[in-house]
């Protein structure tokens, strides 16, 4: 299966700039572009993400068909609860689960999620370390990180926020608390048969 390449207009929406700006960046060699047989510029999403990270630009991820959420949780029941709560977002959200820090690190590298729902105390690499590594890497530093922990304390919250997370949920949390923290907006309406 071949990778779908983005048009200058799609890249412009992702970066919040005009298509002319995208073409100029490509012409200057700052943003890697590929040429079609008709000599039109096309862009790989991975290259756009890398460019945005290196320039401190925020991606408008809502322009992509779906957000990618990686749930990093070693408790299968909690991971199942999160997936069930988010099932209604099926058209706008792709979800994968990692049950340890090493698996999460590999998925961050290969799948490039937009959001991590990250348990602080997972086997392997703990959440604090993983969060720091994700935020230190220019390719992944724009990844949103929402932490969660059963060991909720001022110290743990301060540590994970300092590592780059935007918030920390105390386990157990409600469906509303999860949705508020992830900032996904209202669930899409479903057609009734």
pLDDT score at 64: 47
- Banded model confidence at residue 192, pLDDT cuts 50, 70, 90: very low
pLDDT above 70 for 119? yes
Domain boundaries along the sequence of the chain: 8-62, 65-182
**pTM greater than the 0.85 cutoff:** no
The domain 8-62 is placed in CATH, from the list 1.10.1660, 1.10.3470, 3.40.50, 1.10.287, at 1.10.1660
pLDDT score at 107: 95
Do 65-182 and 8-62 have the same topology in CATH?
A: no
Q: What is the pLDDT of residues 125-152, one digit of tens each?
A: 999 999 999 999 988 888 999 999 999 9
pLDDT score at 37: 85
Candidate from 16-25, 56-65, 113-122, 175-184 with smallest mean pLDDT? 56-65
More confident residue, 146 or 14: 146
pLDDT score at 103: 96
CB-count burial class (<10 Å; 0-12, 13-18, 19+) for 136: exposed
Query: Taking all residues of the chain, what is their mean pLDDT, rounded to a whole number?
Result: 87
Written in H, E and C, the secondary structure of the chain is: CCCCCECHHHHHHHHCCCHHHHHHHHHCCCCCCEECCCCCEEECHHHHHHHHHHHCCCCCHHHCCCEEEEEECCCHHHHHHHHHHHHHHCCCEEEEEECCHHHHHHHHHHHCCCEEEEECCCCCCCHHHHHHHHHHCCCCCCCEEEEEECCCCHHHHHHHHHHCCCEEEECCCCHHHHHHHHCCCCCCCCCCC
Mode of pairing for the β-strands spanning 167-170 and 144-149: parallel
Tokens 């009734």 appear where?
Answer: 192
Candidate from 46-55, 112-121, 172-181 with smallest mean pLDDT? 46-55
pLDDT score at 92: 78
pLDDT above 60 for 63? no
The structural architecture, per CATH, of the domain 65-182 is 3-Layer(aba) Sandwich (3.40)
């Amino acid at each position: 299966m071949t990778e779908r390449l983005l048009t200058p207009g799609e890249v412009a929406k992702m970066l919040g700039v005009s298509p002319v700006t995208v073409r100029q960046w490509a012409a200057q060699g700052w943003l890697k572009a590929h040429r079609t047989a008709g000599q039109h510029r096309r862009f790989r999403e991975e290259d756009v993400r890398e460019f945005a990270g290196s320039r401190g630009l925020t991606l408008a991820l809502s322009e992509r068909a779906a957000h990618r959420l990686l749930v990093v949780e070693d408790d299968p029941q909690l991971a199942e609860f999160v997936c069930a709560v988010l099932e209604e977002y099926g058209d706008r959200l792709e979800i994968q689960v990692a049950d340890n820090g090493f698996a999460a690190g590999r998925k961050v590298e290969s799948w490039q999620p937009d959001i991590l729902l990250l348990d602080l105390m997972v086997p392997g690499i703990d959440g604090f370390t993983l969060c720091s590594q994700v935020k230190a890497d220019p390719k992944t530093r724009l990844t949103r990180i929402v932490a969660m922990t059963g060991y909720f304390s001022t110290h743990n919250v301060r540590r994970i926020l300092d590592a780059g997370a935007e918030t920390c949920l105390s386990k157990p949390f409600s469906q509303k608390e999860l949705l508020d923290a992830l900032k996904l907006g209202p669930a899409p309406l479903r057609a009734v048969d």
